Amino acid sequence: MNCSTRQQINIGLILTLIMALTRSHHWATLSALPDASWAIFFLVGVYLRPMWIMPALIAAAMGIDYVAISQFGVSDFCISPAYGLLVPAYASLFIAGRIYAAHHRMSLSTLPWLFGTALVGAIAAELFSSGGFYVYSGRFAEPTLAGFIPQFFEYFPVMLSSFAFYLGAAAIAHLLISSTHGQRTA
């Protein structure tokens, strides 16, 4: 992906705003979209070149969580010793985005790279976030692999569907912007 500095700034601001608007909600309702954080970290890996953006976005996510909990009454149920495992979870998605970006072309032939990197990144993120919560949150008396497997299959499809929704929307936006830009330069 070859985005200008201005385009990267605009993309970064838009993605951060989307994360702020969706992060405090875990399930979609008529008034709240599902959390876009997974897709945001993947897309940041795809579009934004500076490496400092990932830790900055993690800090922004933590700040959003703090404000949502302290100012807006969002439950702090997920804040536990496991919260730190969101760092490798989000890093997994960011790295998956970077890998996809290295293989991206405006061609259907790169769709397997998109699906593959997104899926591997999502599985890793789920294992770090949900697996970490299951093992380290202190909310489960005796965490075991056998106990985690049903948790994985309960929560991962929901997270994956939200992730796919936002990636699909981003892909459509990318195609529309690319085709509009192509028409202007032709």
pLDDT digits (tens, 9 = 90+) for 67-117: 888 887 888 888 899 999 999 999 999 999 999 999 988 888 889 999 999
Given a cut of 60, whether residue 128 has pLDDT beyond it is yes
Q: For 25-39, 57-71, 132-146, 158-172, which range has the lowest pLDDT when averaged over its residues? A: 25-39
What is this structure's pTM?
0.90
Given a cut of 50, whether residue 186 has pLDDT beyond it is no
Q: Which of 14-28, 91-105, 167-181 has the highest mean pLDDT?
A: 91-105
Decide which of 24 and 21 is more confident: 21
Q: Where are the domains of the chain?
A: 5-19+37-178
Distance (Å, whole) CA 121 – CA 112: 14
Q: What angle, 0 to 180 degrees and rounded to 10, lies between the N-to-C axes of helices 86-103 and 53-72?
A: 140
Q: How high is the pLDDT of residue 185?
A: 43
Distance (Å, whole) CA 118 – CA 175: 18
Residue 139 near residue 82, CB atoms below 8 Å? no
Q: Give the type of residue at 77.
A: F
Residue 1 near residue 46, CB atoms below 8 Å? yes
What string of DSSP letters covers the chain? ----HHHHHHHHHHHHHHHHHHTT-SS--SS-PPP-HHHHHHHHHHH---TTHHHHHHHHHHHHHHHHHHHH----TT-SGGGGGHHHHHHHHHHHHHHHHHH--SSGGGHHHHHHHHHHHHHHHHIIIIIHHHHHSS-SSS--HHHHHHHHHHHHHHHHHHHHHHHHHHHHHHHHHHHHHHHHH-
Per-residue model confidence as pLDDT tens digits over 38-52: 999 999 999 999 999
Chain mean position to CA 131: 17
Distance (Å, whole) CA 112 – CA 99: 12
* Averaged pLDDT score across all residues of the chain: 89
Distance (Å, whole) CA 107 – CA 88: 31
Given a cut of 70, whether residue 137 has pLDDT beyond it is yes
Instruction: Determine what percent of the chain is predicted with pLDDT higher than 70.
Output: 91
Given a cut of 80, whether residue 181 has pLDDT beyond it is no
